[in-house]
Amino acid sequence: MPGMNSMTLLLSAVFLFQAAHAEGDAKSLILGAPLTLAEAVPLAEVLAAPERFKDREILVEAVIEKACLKKGCWVILKDGEKEVRTTFKDYGFFVPKDSLGRKVRAQGTVYREMQSVKTLRHYMKDGGASKEEIAKVKAPVEVVSFVASGVVILEP
């Protein structure tokens, strides 16, 4: 098109790609960066061998099992019996706290980390755990985490 530079064309293409992959549902909620991947990797496959997906963006589909009740700054995504805590890149966006049970497409990176007792207790508190449950956490735990750069919450 006359007068369009390459950046404008790229941004237009990304927008059109995102619109086409929002399941055609005008009621889908798009958060963070637009999704640029089309094919989702099953969450069970990712969690069975997270090192296979290290240092690359992937797309997963799952259901929001739990969310931060304080401000929506993390969710637990679940697919079947497998689940992963998901945070949002650069603390750049949050999900609505009433998103439980909603299906999502999330793009981001997966990694292993040691979570301290303080962090584990913080997540439990923000997730609504009782003081008794929180007090039971006595040692750090190695976990698999997912950092999403973009999320599309699909309408039921």
pLDDT tens column, 74-89: 999 999 999 999 999 9
Residues 6+ apart with CB under 8 A from 27: 155
Residue 68's pLDDT is what?
92
Is 6-153 in CATH node 2.40.50.140?
yes
Tokens 């949002």: give the residue. 88
Domain ranges across the chain: 6-153
Q: Which two structure tokens, joined as six digits, stand for 151?
A: 């999320």
Cα 71 → chain centroid = 15
Q: Which residues of the chain have pLDDT under 70?
A: 1-26, 156
Tokens 């039921």: give the residue. 156
Residue 75's pLDDT is what?
96
Residues 6+ apart with CB under 8 A from 82: 43, 44, 47
Residue 155's pLDDT is what?
76
Residue 34's pLDDT is what?
96
Pairing mode, strands 74-79 and 58-67: antiparallel
pTM score: 0.79
